[in-house]
Homo-oligomer: A and B are copies of this chain.
Amino acid sequence: MAFINEHYLKLQAGYLFPEISRRVKEFTESNPVAAARLIRCGIGDVTEPLPPACTEALHAAVDEMADRETFKGYGPEHGYDFLREAISENDFQSRGVNVTADEIFVSDGAKCDTANILDILGHQNRIAITDPVYPVYLDTNVMAGHTDTADDAGQYGGIIYLPCTAENNFVPATPDEKADIIYLCYPNNPTGATATREQLAGWVAYAKENNTLILFDAAYEAFIQDAEVPHSIYEIAGARECAIEFRSFSKNAGFTGTRCAFTVIPKELTGTDTEGNAHSLHSLWSRRTATKFNGASYPIQKAAAAVYSDAGKTQVQELVTHYMGNAKILREATIAAGLEVFGGTNAPYIWLKTPNAAPSWNIFDRVLNEAAVVITPGAGFGNAGEGYFRISAFNSRANAEEVAERIGAMAW
């Protein structure tokens, strides 16, 4: 038997979504009548169909694959230029942000990218994450051996946790200690919070002072409604020297089952070896991509490029408007019910304080049993998520209205 990567054994068994599934299954099996009216607002998965511009592009690309004259075999590992150029132009240049096409690496998902980025980074880096957090950032560091085992409270030694609570508007102050790598996600999953230009500028200043690499997850940028909120870390001067940005087509264009995303690594961004020599992270990621990936599917890349067509832009905007309309309904209903409500104005997630500081799994059970609605307990995203719960706005309008009514009718 070959040796295993023992760091995997440090991972905690009680992963959030399996535990939710277990409780939902128990509920539906013992309450068949209530089960029939169950509405899921747990996992952040889209419900509306792909934009017609994307399905048209998919059909056309499939026709290309059916004809030897237009058939495509292996594509460039980093993505086709037609997509990289469309991204550069529409997501960055048109907003006055300097990101060139050759700084964009197209992939099959932002989850993969935020996980795989550790491949090119050293094991000696000191890692900071926000708390609550998207579990992938933490778990991939545990798997890579960047932590000790978890303590009784579920926190891993070796990680700098930055609590995000109502007290700091869910944007942490820069820490006093030095982190080599910091994961930031704004608009935030799970809290729905955004970071202001000044807050991001503070993080860029910290990064430049401490030689920190910012891993900036902007998967939810399309949901920003407030013109003052930055869509990209590169809107902040100096960010090109200290940040990698992750983007996705999953949430804006509904690609969660279709799979396409991209990572931006500016050419001037460097990491250091133990002797202090600088090395291009763009070159390292380029080599990683060429060796361990064979490019995203050609038809899928054509569908992603259609997001930037005139029709595609309009249709994506309609999807965003739809989900943000749900968010408004859910916000208003929960505020009216007397709950303390955050998020949901520039992000598709509503983040709520549990009444009387009740444990979030208790609220999960109550909402499931009394309203037949699946929410996500904040504790599942980290210790600082305890005392909160998340409602996802990814749903049909009818379901969002029904959830608003049911949760509003509960005796909070």
Interface set of A (CB-CB < 8 Å, partner B)? 1-6, 8-9, 11, 15, 43, 45-50, 52, 55, 58-59, 62-63, 65-68, 71-75, 108-109, 111-112, 115-116, 119-125, 135-136, 139-140, 143, 180-181, 211-213, 254, 256-259, 270-274, 278-279, 281, 284, 287-288, 290-300, 396
Knowing that A2-B181, A74-B257, A135-B291 touch, tell me 20 more A-B residue pairs with CB under 8 angstroms. Answer: A1-B270, A2-B122, A2-B212, A2-B213, A4-B122, A4-B284, A6-B274, A9-B273, A45-B73, A49-B66, A55-B65, A62-B62, A71-B254, A111-B292, A136-B291, A139-B291, A258-B298, A297-B297, A297-B300, A299-B299
- Once the chains bind, are B66 and A55 in contact (CB under 8 Å)? yes
Closest A-B pairs by Cβ, 5 of them: A3-B122, A4-B271, A2-B213, A115-B292, A45-B73
Residue of B nearest to A291 (CB): B139
How many copies make up the complex? Answer: 2
- 9 sampled A-B residue pairs with Cβ under 8 A: A2-B125, A3-B180, A3-B273, A5-B120, A73-B254, A111-B293, A136-B292, A139-B291, A258-B299
**CB-CB < 8 A to A181: which residues of B?**
2
Given A50-B66, A55-B62, A273-B9, decide whether A296 and B259 contact each other with a Cβ distance below 8 A: yes
- Once the chains bind, are B271 and A3 in contact (CB under 8 Å)? yes
- Once the chains bind, are A298 and B257 in contact (CB under 8 Å)? yes
- Once the chains bind, are A274 and B121 in contact (CB under 8 Å)? no
- Once the chains bind, are B52 and A66 in contact (CB under 8 Å)? yes
- Once the chains bind, are B47 and A71 in contact (CB under 8 Å)? yes
- Once the chains bind, are A11 and B47 in contact (CB under 8 Å)? no
- Once the chains bind, are A3 and B121 in contact (CB under 8 Å)? yes
**CB-CB < 8 A to A122: which residues of B?**
2-6
- Once the chains bind, are B259 and A297 in contact (CB under 8 Å)? yes
- Once the chains bind, are A11 and B121 in contact (CB under 8 Å)? no
- Residue of A3, A52, A74 with most partner-chain B CB within 10 A: A3
**CB-CB < 8 A to A256: which residues of B?**
73-74, 294
In angstroms, how far is the closest chain B Cβ from the Cβ of A245?
A: 15
Bound CA–CA A336/B43 (angstroms): 64
Bound CA–CA A72/B292 (angstroms): 27
Residue of B nearest to A4 (CB): B271
**CB-CB < 8 A to A274: which residues of B?**
3, 6
Partner of A293, one of B73, B75, B109: B109
**CB-CB < 8 A to A140: which residues of B?**
291-292
**CB-CB < 8 A to A111: which residues of B?**
292-294
In angstroms, how far is the closest chain B Cβ from the Cβ of A381?
A: 15
- Once the chains bind, are B120 and A293 in contact (CB under 8 Å)? no
- Once the chains bind, are A4 and B297 in contact (CB under 8 Å)? no
Given A122-B4, A180-B2, decide whether A11 and B115 contact each other with a Cβ distance below 8 A: no
